Structure 1
Amino acid sequence: MQIRMAKMEDLDEIAFVESECFPFGEAATKEKFAERIKEYGTHFWLMCEEEKVIAFVDGMVTDEKNLTDEMYEKACLHDEKGAWQMIFGVNTLPKYRRQGYAEKLLRYAINDARAQDREGLVLTCKDKLVHYYEKFGFQNEGVSESVHGGATWYQMRLTF
Protein backbone atom coordinates (compact mmCIF):
# COMPACT_ATOMS: atom_id res chain seq x y z
CA MET A 1 0.00 0.00 0.00
CA GLN A 2 1.15 3.48 -0.85
CA ILE A 3 0.10 6.86 0.57
CA ARG A 4 0.30 9.80 -1.79
CA MET A 5 -1.38 13.14 -2.51
CA ALA A 6 -4.39 13.35 -4.82
CA LYS A 7 -4.09 14.44 -8.43
CA MET A 8 -6.84 15.48 -10.82
CA GLU A 9 -6.39 12.13 -12.60
CA ASP A 10 -7.70 10.45 -9.42
CA LEU A 11 -11.03 12.27 -9.56
CA ASP A 12 -13.22 9.40 -10.82
CA GLU A 13 -11.82 6.95 -8.27
CA ILE A 14 -12.16 9.45 -5.41
CA ALA A 15 -15.80 10.13 -6.32
CA PHE A 16 -16.45 6.37 -6.47
CA VAL A 17 -14.92 5.76 -3.02
CA GLU A 18 -17.00 8.62 -1.58
CA SER A 19 -20.19 7.21 -3.10
CA GLU A 20 -19.46 3.84 -1.49
CA CYS A 21 -18.87 5.40 1.93
CA PHE A 22 -21.60 8.03 2.33
CA PRO A 23 -25.31 8.23 1.47
CA PHE A 24 -26.29 10.47 -1.44
CA GLY A 25 -27.19 13.51 0.68
CA GLU A 26 -23.85 13.43 2.53
CA ALA A 27 -21.46 12.44 -0.27
CA ALA A 28 -19.46 15.16 -1.99
CA THR A 29 -19.88 15.41 -5.74
CA LYS A 30 -17.20 14.83 -8.34
CA GLU A 31 -17.25 18.58 -9.04
CA LYS A 32 -16.65 19.40 -5.36
CA PHE A 33 -13.72 17.01 -5.30
CA ALA A 34 -12.25 18.68 -8.39
CA GLU A 35 -12.40 22.02 -6.55
CA ARG A 36 -10.85 20.50 -3.43
CA ILE A 37 -7.95 18.92 -5.33
CA LYS A 38 -7.32 22.21 -7.13
CA GLU A 39 -7.41 24.31 -3.95
CA TYR A 40 -5.77 21.96 -1.44
CA GLY A 41 -4.44 18.86 -3.13
CA THR A 42 -1.59 18.76 -0.63
CA HIS A 43 -4.18 18.13 2.09
CA PHE A 44 -5.79 15.22 0.26
CA TRP A 45 -4.16 11.92 1.21
CA LEU A 46 -4.82 8.75 -0.79
CA MET A 47 -4.18 5.11 0.11
CA CYS A 48 -3.53 3.16 -3.07
CA GLU A 49 -3.17 -0.50 -3.84
CA GLU A 50 -1.29 -0.84 -7.11
CA GLU A 51 -2.46 2.64 -8.20
CA LYS A 52 -6.11 1.91 -7.28
CA VAL A 53 -7.53 4.35 -4.70
CA ILE A 54 -8.95 2.32 -1.83
CA ALA A 55 -9.16 5.01 0.87
CA PHE A 56 -8.63 8.72 1.41
CA VAL A 57 -8.63 11.55 3.95
CA ASP A 58 -9.16 15.15 2.88
CA GLY A 59 -9.76 18.58 4.34
CA MET A 60 -8.85 22.23 4.10
CA VAL A 61 -6.74 24.40 6.39
CA THR A 62 -8.25 27.46 8.06
CA ASP A 63 -7.94 29.81 11.00
CA GLU A 64 -11.58 29.12 11.88
CA LYS A 65 -11.80 26.96 15.00
CA ASN A 66 -14.97 25.08 14.07
CA LEU A 67 -15.85 23.05 11.01
CA THR A 68 -18.79 24.61 9.17
CA ASP A 69 -21.03 23.42 6.36
CA GLU A 70 -19.77 26.33 4.24
CA MET A 71 -16.29 24.75 4.24
CA TYR A 72 -17.62 21.63 2.53
CA GLU A 73 -19.10 23.77 -0.22
CA LYS A 74 -16.37 26.36 -0.78
CA ALA A 75 -12.90 24.94 -1.29
CA CYS A 76 -11.68 28.50 -1.91
CA LEU A 77 -11.91 29.11 1.87
CA HIS A 78 -8.70 27.09 2.24
CA ASP A 79 -5.90 29.14 3.83
CA GLU A 80 -2.55 27.37 3.59
CA LYS A 81 -1.27 29.43 6.55
CA GLY A 82 -4.26 28.52 8.72
CA ALA A 83 -3.98 27.13 12.23
CA TRP A 84 -6.40 24.19 11.94
CA GLN A 85 -6.43 21.20 9.62
CA MET A 86 -10.06 20.35 8.97
CA ILE A 87 -10.89 16.76 8.01
CA PHE A 88 -13.94 16.37 5.76
CA GLY A 89 -13.78 12.68 5.11
CA VAL A 90 -12.10 9.48 6.27
CA ASN A 91 -13.17 7.05 3.56
CA THR A 92 -12.32 3.40 2.93
CA LEU A 93 -13.93 1.11 0.36
CA PRO A 94 -16.08 -1.45 2.23
CA LYS A 95 -14.01 -4.50 1.22
CA TYR A 96 -10.84 -2.86 2.64
CA ARG A 97 -12.30 -1.86 6.01
CA ARG A 98 -11.07 -3.19 9.36
CA GLN A 99 -7.54 -3.64 8.02
CA GLY A 100 -6.03 -0.46 9.48
CA TYR A 101 -5.95 1.65 6.30
CA ALA A 102 -8.06 4.51 7.66
CA GLU A 103 -5.90 4.56 10.79
CA LYS A 104 -2.70 4.78 8.73
CA LEU A 105 -4.11 7.61 6.63
CA LEU A 106 -5.39 9.53 9.62
CA ARG A 107 -2.08 9.19 11.43
CA TYR A 108 -0.35 10.41 8.26
CA ALA A 109 -2.62 13.47 8.15
CA ILE A 110 -2.04 14.12 11.86
CA ASN A 111 1.73 13.91 11.37
CA ASP A 112 1.54 16.28 8.39
CA ALA A 113 -0.47 18.81 10.41
CA ARG A 114 2.01 18.56 13.28
CA ALA A 115 4.99 18.99 10.91
CA GLN A 116 3.29 22.07 9.43
CA ASP A 117 2.98 23.62 12.91
CA ARG A 118 -0.83 23.60 12.92
CA GLU A 119 -2.65 23.94 16.25
CA GLY A 120 -4.38 20.65 15.55
CA LEU A 121 -7.14 18.96 13.57
CA VAL A 122 -10.93 19.16 13.62
CA LEU A 123 -13.47 16.73 12.16
CA THR A 124 -17.08 15.81 12.58
CA CYS A 125 -18.46 12.30 12.87
CA LYS A 126 -21.62 10.46 13.76
CA ASP A 127 -22.17 9.27 17.33
CA LYS A 128 -21.14 5.67 16.55
CA LEU A 129 -17.62 6.83 15.53
CA VAL A 130 -16.82 9.15 18.46
CA HIS A 131 -14.95 6.35 20.27
CA TYR A 132 -12.90 5.58 17.11
CA TYR A 133 -11.52 9.13 16.88
CA GLU A 134 -10.95 9.35 20.62
CA LYS A 135 -8.29 6.65 20.30
CA PHE A 136 -6.25 9.12 18.20
CA GLY A 137 -6.54 11.77 20.91
CA PHE A 138 -9.51 13.68 19.50
CA GLN A 139 -11.80 15.19 22.13
CA ASN A 140 -15.57 15.20 21.68
CA GLU A 141 -16.84 18.78 21.79
CA GLY A 142 -20.49 17.75 21.50
CA VAL A 143 -23.05 18.17 18.75
CA SER A 144 -21.68 20.23 15.88
CA GLU A 145 -23.43 23.18 14.30
CA SER A 146 -23.07 21.27 11.02
CA VAL A 147 -26.24 19.86 9.55
CA HIS A 148 -24.46 18.49 6.48
CA GLY A 149 -26.66 15.95 4.71
CA GLY A 150 -29.35 16.32 7.39
CA ALA A 151 -27.35 14.20 9.88
CA THR A 152 -26.37 14.84 13.50
CA TRP A 153 -22.61 15.32 13.72
CA TYR A 154 -20.25 15.53 16.68
CA GLN A 155 -17.27 17.87 16.48
CA MET A 156 -13.97 16.24 17.42
CA ARG A 157 -10.75 18.18 18.05
CA LEU A 158 -7.15 17.05 18.39
CA THR A 159 -5.01 19.86 19.80
CA PHE A 160 -1.23 19.63 19.71
Structure 2
Amino acid sequence: MTNLTIRTAELDDLTACHTIECNCFPAAEAALTSSLEQRIIEYPEGFFVAELDGRVVGQLNSGSTDKDDITDEEFKQLIGHDPEGKNIVIFSLAVLPEFQHRGIADQMMTAFIKQSRKLDKKNILLLCKDNLIPYYSRHGFTDSGISESNHGGATWHEMALAL
Protein backbone atom coordinates (compact mmCIF):
# COMPACT_ATOMS: atom_id res chain seq x y z
CA MET A 1 0.00 0.00 0.00
CA THR A 2 2.04 2.88 -1.28
CA ASN A 3 -0.41 5.60 -0.22
CA LEU A 4 -0.58 4.48 3.43
CA THR A 5 0.83 6.82 6.05
CA ILE A 6 1.14 6.01 9.75
CA ARG A 7 1.30 9.23 11.76
CA THR A 8 0.51 10.79 15.12
CA ALA A 9 -3.17 11.63 15.53
CA GLU A 10 -4.34 15.24 15.55
CA LEU A 11 -7.58 16.74 16.85
CA ASP A 12 -8.83 16.98 13.25
CA ASP A 13 -8.79 13.14 13.22
CA LEU A 14 -11.20 12.85 16.17
CA THR A 15 -14.40 12.23 14.17
CA ALA A 16 -12.68 9.62 11.98
CA CYS A 17 -11.23 7.86 15.04
CA HIS A 18 -14.62 7.75 16.74
CA THR A 19 -16.20 6.37 13.55
CA ILE A 20 -13.57 3.61 13.54
CA GLU A 21 -14.31 2.79 17.21
CA CYS A 22 -18.06 2.60 16.52
CA ASN A 23 -17.56 0.37 13.47
CA CYS A 24 -15.11 -2.02 15.11
CA PHE A 25 -16.37 -2.45 18.67
CA PRO A 26 -19.74 -3.15 20.32
CA ALA A 27 -21.24 0.00 21.84
CA ALA A 28 -20.39 -1.17 25.37
CA GLU A 29 -16.69 -1.44 24.44
CA ALA A 30 -16.15 1.53 22.09
CA ALA A 31 -14.36 4.57 23.47
CA LEU A 32 -16.35 7.75 23.84
CA THR A 33 -15.45 10.73 21.69
CA SER A 34 -14.40 12.58 24.85
CA SER A 35 -11.97 9.76 25.78
CA LEU A 36 -10.42 9.74 22.32
CA GLU A 37 -10.09 13.53 22.38
CA GLN A 38 -8.38 13.39 25.76
CA ARG A 39 -5.94 10.74 24.50
CA ILE A 40 -5.03 12.83 21.45
CA ILE A 41 -4.47 15.93 23.59
CA GLU A 42 -2.70 14.36 26.57
CA TYR A 43 -0.69 11.57 24.93
CA PRO A 44 -0.29 12.20 21.20
CA GLU A 45 2.96 10.22 21.14
CA GLY A 46 0.86 7.14 21.97
CA PHE A 47 -1.93 7.74 19.43
CA PHE A 48 -1.38 6.76 15.80
CA VAL A 49 -3.66 6.84 12.79
CA ALA A 50 -3.36 5.05 9.47
CA GLU A 51 -4.22 7.32 6.58
CA LEU A 52 -4.88 5.81 3.15
CA ASP A 53 -5.21 8.19 0.22
CA GLY A 54 -6.01 11.02 2.63
CA ARG A 55 -8.64 9.09 4.63
CA VAL A 56 -8.09 7.92 8.22
CA VAL A 57 -8.92 4.19 8.11
CA GLY A 58 -7.23 2.92 11.29
CA GLN A 59 -6.17 4.02 14.74
CA LEU A 60 -4.11 2.78 17.67
CA ASN A 61 -4.24 4.62 20.98
CA SER A 62 -2.71 4.12 24.39
CA GLY A 63 -1.80 5.45 27.81
CA SER A 64 1.26 5.05 29.98
CA THR A 65 1.66 3.95 33.59
CA ASP A 66 4.03 2.41 36.10
CA LYS A 67 1.24 0.06 37.20
CA ASP A 68 1.20 -3.54 36.00
CA ASP A 69 -2.55 -3.92 36.63
CA ILE A 70 -4.34 -2.49 33.60
CA THR A 71 -7.88 -3.48 34.58
CA ASP A 72 -8.77 -0.09 36.07
CA GLU A 73 -11.60 1.39 33.98
CA GLU A 74 -10.64 4.93 35.02
CA PHE A 75 -7.28 4.51 33.28
CA LYS A 76 -9.14 4.58 29.94
CA GLN A 77 -9.92 8.23 30.80
CA LEU A 78 -6.18 8.61 31.52
CA ILE A 79 -6.74 8.82 35.28
CA GLY A 80 -3.40 7.62 36.63
CA HIS A 81 -1.71 8.17 33.24
CA ASP A 82 2.00 8.95 33.59
CA PRO A 83 3.79 9.79 30.33
CA GLU A 84 7.04 8.62 31.95
CA GLY A 85 5.57 5.29 33.13
CA LYS A 86 7.44 2.09 32.33
CA ASN A 87 4.42 0.45 30.66
CA ILE A 88 2.55 1.64 27.61
CA VAL A 89 -0.97 0.25 27.44
CA ILE A 90 -2.85 -0.17 24.17
CA PHE A 91 -6.51 0.77 24.57
CA SER A 92 -7.55 0.25 20.97
CA LEU A 93 -6.17 -1.01 17.67
CA ALA A 94 -8.80 -0.88 14.95
CA VAL A 95 -9.14 -0.62 11.19
CA LEU A 96 -12.40 0.10 9.38
CA PRO A 97 -13.92 -3.24 8.30
CA GLU A 98 -13.67 -2.50 4.58
CA PHE A 99 -9.91 -1.94 4.95
CA GLN A 100 -9.12 -4.94 7.17
CA HIS A 101 -6.88 -7.84 6.06
CA ARG A 102 -4.57 -5.54 4.11
CA GLY A 103 -1.75 -5.31 6.67
CA ILE A 104 -2.73 -1.85 7.94
CA ALA A 105 -3.00 -2.96 11.58
CA ASP A 106 0.37 -4.72 11.28
CA GLN A 107 2.01 -1.54 10.02
CA MET A 108 0.47 0.49 12.85
CA MET A 109 1.61 -2.11 15.40
CA THR A 110 5.15 -2.15 13.99
CA ALA A 111 5.32 1.67 14.17
CA PHE A 112 3.87 1.60 17.69
CA ILE A 113 6.42 -0.95 18.94
CA LYS A 114 9.22 1.16 17.45
CA GLN A 115 7.80 4.30 19.10
CA SER A 116 7.45 2.49 22.45
CA ARG A 117 11.14 1.57 22.35
CA LYS A 118 12.04 5.17 21.44
CA LEU A 119 10.03 6.33 24.48
CA ASP A 120 12.11 3.88 26.58
CA LYS A 121 9.09 1.83 27.69
CA LYS A 122 9.76 -1.54 29.31
CA ASN A 123 6.52 -3.29 28.30
CA ILE A 124 3.55 -2.94 26.00
CA LEU A 125 0.40 -4.23 27.70
CA LEU A 126 -3.09 -4.78 26.34
CA LEU A 127 -6.34 -6.65 26.81
CA CYS A 128 -7.84 -8.67 23.96
CA LYS A 129 -10.47 -11.29 23.26
CA ASP A 130 -9.66 -14.95 22.56
CA ASN A 131 -9.79 -14.59 18.79
CA LEU A 132 -7.05 -11.93 18.76
CA ILE A 133 -4.47 -13.86 20.80
CA PRO A 134 -2.83 -15.31 17.63
CA TYR A 135 -2.62 -11.85 16.04
CA TYR A 136 -0.83 -10.30 19.00
CA SER A 137 1.33 -13.41 19.46
CA ARG A 138 2.65 -12.88 15.91
CA HIS A 139 3.92 -9.49 17.11
CA GLY A 140 5.74 -11.07 20.06
CA PHE A 141 3.11 -10.67 22.78
CA THR A 142 2.60 -13.42 25.34
CA ASP A 143 -0.75 -14.33 26.88
CA SER A 144 -0.77 -13.82 30.64
CA GLY A 145 -4.21 -15.40 31.01
CA ILE A 146 -7.73 -14.19 31.69
CA SER A 147 -7.95 -10.63 32.98
CA GLU A 148 -10.03 -9.42 35.90
CA SER A 149 -11.43 -6.76 33.55
CA ASN A 150 -15.06 -7.14 32.55
CA HIS A 151 -15.08 -4.09 30.24
CA GLY A 152 -18.23 -4.16 28.15
CA GLY A 153 -19.25 -7.42 29.81
CA ALA A 154 -16.64 -9.38 27.80
CA THR A 155 -13.91 -11.85 28.76
CA TRP A 156 -10.43 -10.43 28.14
CA HIS A 157 -6.92 -11.85 28.02
CA GLU A 158 -3.94 -9.89 29.29
CA MET A 159 -1.14 -9.73 26.75
CA ALA A 160 2.37 -8.36 27.24
CA LEU A 161 5.38 -7.60 25.11
CA ALA A 162 8.68 -6.99 26.91
CA LEU A 163 10.74 -4.40 25.05
Query: TM-score if structure 1 supplies the norm length?
Result: 0.96
Q: Residue 66 of structure 1 contacts residue 122 of structure 1 at CA under 8 Å; is this kept in 2?
A: no
For residues 74-113 of structure 1, the aligned pairs below 5 Å read 74-113=77-116
What is the CA–CA distance in structure 1 between the aligned matches of 2:108 and 2:96, rounded to whole Å? 13
Equivalent position amino acid for 2:57 in 1: I
Cα distance in structure 2, aligned partners of 1:142 and 1:76: 25
Where do residues 6-155 of structure 1 align in structure 2 (5 Å cutoff)?
6-68=9-71, 69-72=73-76, 74-155=77-158
After superposition, the C-alpha distances for 1:87-130 in whole angstroms (9 at most, x for unaligned) are 01110000111110001101111111112211020011000111
**CA shift for structure 1 position 66:** 2.5
Identity score, percent: 35
**Which stretches in structure 1 are left out of the alignment for 5+ residues?**
none
Deviation digits for residues 59-104 of structure 1 (CA, Å, limit 9, x no counterpart) = 00111112122211x2242211110110011100001111100011
Q: State the 1:41 CA deviation.
A: 1.5
The amino acid of 2:99's aligned partner reads Y
* Cα distance in 2 for residues equivalent to 1:76 and 1:144: 20
Q: Distance in 1 between matches of 2:7 and 2:81?
A: 20
Cα contact 1:40–1:78 (8 A) shared by 2: no
SS in 2 for 1:77: coil
Cα distance between partner residues in 2 of 1:99 and 1:56: 14
TM-aligned CA deviation for residue 155 of structure 1: 0.3
The whole-number CA distance in structure 1 between the counterparts of 2:81 and 2:42 is 7
RMSD: 1.0
Q: How much has 1:38 moved relative to structure 2?
A: 1.3
Number of equivalent positions:
159
